[in-house]
Amino acid sequence: MTKYIGIDLGTSTTCLSVVEKGESLIIPGPSGEKVIPSYVYLREDGKFLIGEPAKAECIADPYNTIWATKRLIGRKFNDPFVQYSLKRLPYKISESKHDGVQIHGRDKTYPPEWFASLILKSVVHHASTYLSEPVKKAVITVPGTFNKFQREATQKSAEKIGLEVLRLVNEPTAAAVSWGFHKKTGQTVAVFDLGGGTFDAFIIRIGEGNYKLLAARGEPWLGGEDFDNVLVEKVASAFKKQYKINIYTDKIAHQRLKTAAEKAKMELSENDEALIYIPSICPDISRVADVNYKVGRAEFDGLIEKLVDRTIQIFHRAVQDAGLSLDDLDNVLMVGGMTRVPLVREKMRRLIGREPNCTIDPDEAVARGAAIIASGLSGNPVKLSPPASTKPADEYLSGDVDIHAMYAEAITRSHDPSSPDQDFSSHQPDVLPDGGIDTPNLSGAQNSSNAEQAPGAQLLLEVLSQSIKIEDLAKILAPTAGNGNGNWRTGGFTLKASLREGVRIKVYHNANGNGRRVMLGEFVIQSYKATEHSSPEIKVYFSVDKKAPFAVNAPILSAGISK
């Protein structure tokens, strides 16, 4: 029997979960830890250390200890975030062929995806041993800000080790699922995700099994490491004042201090003070110089307050982007290890005027949600309890997660990776990127007297298919000429279930010609779920006109028989 698991492949840590007897459980690491550091150490003999053993080597050999590759995966070398990483990461990074990124270690170069594959291979092997059953299929979570190339690179990293990716799911959606937001909850949920390397704020509307992203904001370089760095800077400044020695000039000494600062930060989430003590931090000098710095929670709060305020401001702007007030939020979910910091929770409490939801371990929430989705894809039942909310309890319906309603998570625009003119940037929901198709106005609600002046609607096509090109689909959707009524051609295309193909079509209207686009509607067409012994196809026919913008017929074809 093959187990389906959920994997939260994080910037700083990785967490695995599986559903057993209807409940999500964390798969502990080799030493019993709930999260496994996303670190790889390149040994001199050509072998590797992964997880806690690798992170331990970061102090002595930061040049060959590779971490935070999630920041680099799927990016071009000239990407601003890659350039920023050059200054922050101790190991060497350079440009590879085709403008990509390569990492140097032990006189060799590796793509970032290679390290992701190593981590996945290690944790999946351990999971198979722990479960006493082979693990060959998984749902893997990715940041909501990941573009299609970052998602593809993540999926390829898994496929290289023989792991089938059932679905790539946005981390905030997985977190919402772990709390039990599922069918007919009818809630507006905010996810505040502050991890080791990144910060994301998402506003999601959930109802009738649908997960609709209303707004998203975030920063790829804002997380636990930044909190560590402000404490490192404070201690390094005091050390330099006492000994006239700049710790930053010695990467090993700098890494030792970062490790100690991270530990102190974690202690301060539980205690009022912590001691940073590092004997002989620079042993190559003629005199003994110890780091001996006591930091209290009040001092630490003062150091990190600006960073915390940035996360709160970004979160508040996301709520505003969704066109909501703070009172409209039924739940605010705290996700990521850094949400344990008391000041973070206190600032959020002040903002929303009530307690945020911290009932699930913030390091585990995303992985648990991924496991629930994986279990739903396997057809196994999942027990979900109604989450706490201002809504009456009888509005909930416990039961299986409607997995197919979340299919839009995986849909991206079709592309040719070899094309030099490819647009590598991600896009926001309210921006129509290249690929939009100018069409006649489809809004039936518009007054006829203004119809001739209307700039019209526009279509945004997003395609996940190896057989369908967005250009060909655009031709099918093109309006017929001559009648002026905006009638559309009727067309069809085939989606292969074995490839988990799909198409999402959004319709935007450029309201009053002022450049602000309003989404009129969208629909998702996905391939039917294949079984172990069959690969059915869906033949999709649609006819679009002013009276029926989305008339879709998608019979399932199996052995030539329509069902």
Would you name the residues annotated as active-site residues?
8, 70, 171, 193
Token code pair at residue 441? 């106005």
The H or E element containing residue 377 is helix 365-378
Between the alpha carbon of residue 444 and those of residues 254, 266, 478, 523, 545, the distances in Å are 63, 57, 19, 17, 11
Token code pair at residue 129? 């041993």
- Find out whether 456 and 484 touch, Cβ atoms under 8 Å: no
Closest CA to 120 of 142, 98, 97: 142
Distance of alpha carbon 173 from alpha carbon 216, whole angstroms: 12
The answer for residues whose C-beta is within 8 angstroms of residue 127's C-beta and 6 or more apart is: 3, 5, 16, 18, 27, 135
Question: Coil, strand, or helix at residue 22?
Answer: coil
- Phi then psi for residue 198, to 5 deg, are -135, 160
- Find out whether 142 and 174 touch, Cβ atoms under 8 Å: no
Instruction: Count CA within 13 A, CB hemisphere, residue 294.
Output: 3
| Gyration radius of the chain over CA positions | 25
Distance of alpha carbon 177 from alpha carbon 171, whole angstroms: 10
With tokens 């609600």, the residue in question is 445
Look at the alpha carbons of 369, 374, 377, 378 in this order and tell me if their dihedral is positive or negative: negative
